[in-house]
């Protein structure tokens, strides 16, 4: 099987500014990316790093300034419409549904646009309705749906034509925890059970942890890391933190095995203990703290993607 996505030296420049102050900025530069069938790849990076630009090039919306690009064995620039039939795209911020039509009718129209045979359409829709629990609002106009309901509709809309590659741009942005979790479970199933290739951009690290085994990090338009997620985390030394709230002020909780740094806040009532997941676990650490002082509250803070990316970028 050939790669679903293959780019070599992908580059995109934009001209910005008004006439007198016109300049070229490089949004994406020298991106070499290969995604095999069945992979689930998290595409990470801070705002403005070039994630969306890359995704737009992969989907044929933008034309690369330079470089080679094949998606689903097609040239996105010249075969945009053909490619559209093999891609499912979800833009978290934009809707592909018709706001004034019931969800069901939007699905029917999309089925027609993609020329999906009736039986196939019904089977795929039935499954999404089932797993994503769309039933109760299938006949409600899209404009009346909650964000969580709409996103479930968007994902369904992207899957109805049975795409080879599902591209999700910030699919969980703005969703509540329950909706996020439901969506992640479904996407995981689509990836693992159906073997659908998934490319996901997000700011939400748990999205990536649940869905992706591989992560591509992009910053200032360049790929700064492309590796298995665990390897990446180890390499970046991305410290997690246990934040403990104490019943009464205490001296800094130093000397606990595996803790790399202790920061004291609020006169010693709140303390932040940083640790590397390879050295100890959050549970062991909390137990050790509980032996020494009385705890009121505990939270575990994951390194944010921004931190992870910043560490990675500093290393390069």
Smallest gap, in angstroms, from Cβ of residue 84 to other proteins?
A: 4
Which residues in 28-55 are b (16+ Cβ under 10 Å) and which e?
A: bbebebebeeebbbbbbbbeebbbbbbb
Smallest gap, in angstroms, from Cβ of residue 7 to other proteins?
A: 16
Whose Cβ is closer to other proteins: residue 98's or residue 272's? 98
What letter does residue 141 receive in the DSSP assignment?
B
Binding of residue 67 to other proteins (CB under 8 A): no
Residue from 60, 153, 221, 303 that binds other proteins (CB under 8 A)? 60
Residue from 12, 121, 124, 184 that binds other proteins (CB under 8 A)? 12
Judged by CB under 8 A, the stretch of 55-63, 66-74, 210-218, 230-238 that binds other proteins is 55-63
Nearest by Cα to 256 from 217, 282, 226: 282
Smallest gap, in angstroms, from Cβ of residue 104 to other proteins?
A: 12
Whose Cβ is closer to other proteins: residue 152's or residue 233's? 152
Touching other proteins, residues 104-163 (CB under 8 A): 105, 109, 112-115
Binding of residue 22 to other proteins (CB under 8 A): no
2, 39, 71, 304 from 295: Cα distances, Å: 55, 43, 53, 25
Smallest gap, in angstroms, from Cβ of residue 186 to other proteins?
A: 21
Nearest by Cα to 286 from 299, 302, 276: 299
CA distance 9 to 51: 15
Whose Cβ is closer to other proteins: residue 65's or residue 164's? 65
CA distance 151 to 145: 9
Taking the CA atoms of the chain, what radius of gyration do you get in angstroms?
Answer: 23
* Backbone CA torsion sign across 146, 300, 224, 7: negative
Binding of residue 18 to other proteins (CB under 8 A): no
Binding of residue 47 to other proteins (CB under 8 A): no
Q: Which CB contacts under 8 angstroms, 24+ apart, belong to 228-232?
A: 229/42, 232/308, 232/312
Positions touching other proteins (CB under 8 A) are 12, 14-15, 56, 59-63, 65, 77, 80-82, 84-85, 87, 89, 91, 93-96, 98, 100-101, 105, 109, 112-115
């Amino acid at each position: 099987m050939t790669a679903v996505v293959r780019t070599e030296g992908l580059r995109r420049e934009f001209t910005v500014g008004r006439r007198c102050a016109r300049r070229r900025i490089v949004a994406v530069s020298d991106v070499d990316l290969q995604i095999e069938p069945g992979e689930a790849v998290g595409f990470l990076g801070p705002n403005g790093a070039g994630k969306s630009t890359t995704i737009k090039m992969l989907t044929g919306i933008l034309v690369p300034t330079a470089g080679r690009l094949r998606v689903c064995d097609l040239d996105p620039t010249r075969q945009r419409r053909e490619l559209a039939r093999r891609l499912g795209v979800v833009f978290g911020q934009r809707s592909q549904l018709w706001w004034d039509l019931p969800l069901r009718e939007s699905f029917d129209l999309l089925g027609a646009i993609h020329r999906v045979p009736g039986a196939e359409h019904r089977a795929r829709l039935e499954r999404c309705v089932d797993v994503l629990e769309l039933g109760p609002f299938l006949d409600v106009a899209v404009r009346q749906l909650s964000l969580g309901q709409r996103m479930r509709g968007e994902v369904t809309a992207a899957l109805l034509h049975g795409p080879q590659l599902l591209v999700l741009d910030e699919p969980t942005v703005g969703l509540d925890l329950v909706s996020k979790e439901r969506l992640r479970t479904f996407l995981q199933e689509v990836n693992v059970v159906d073997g659908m290739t998934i490319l996901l951009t997000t700011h939400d690290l748990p999205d990536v942890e649940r869905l992706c085994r591989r992560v591509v990090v992009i910053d200032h338009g360049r790929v700064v890391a492309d590796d298995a997620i665990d390897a990446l985390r180890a390499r970046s030394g991305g410290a997690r933190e246990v934040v403990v709230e104490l019943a009464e002020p205490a001296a800094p909780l130093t000397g606990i095995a595996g803790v790399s740094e202790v920061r004291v806040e609020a006169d010693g009532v709140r303390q932040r203990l940083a640790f590397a997941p390879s050295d100890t676990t959050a549970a062991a650490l909390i137990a050790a703290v509980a032996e020494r002082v009385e705890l009121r509250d505990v939270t575990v803070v994951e390194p944010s993607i921004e931190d992870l990316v910043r560490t990675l970028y500093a290393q390069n």
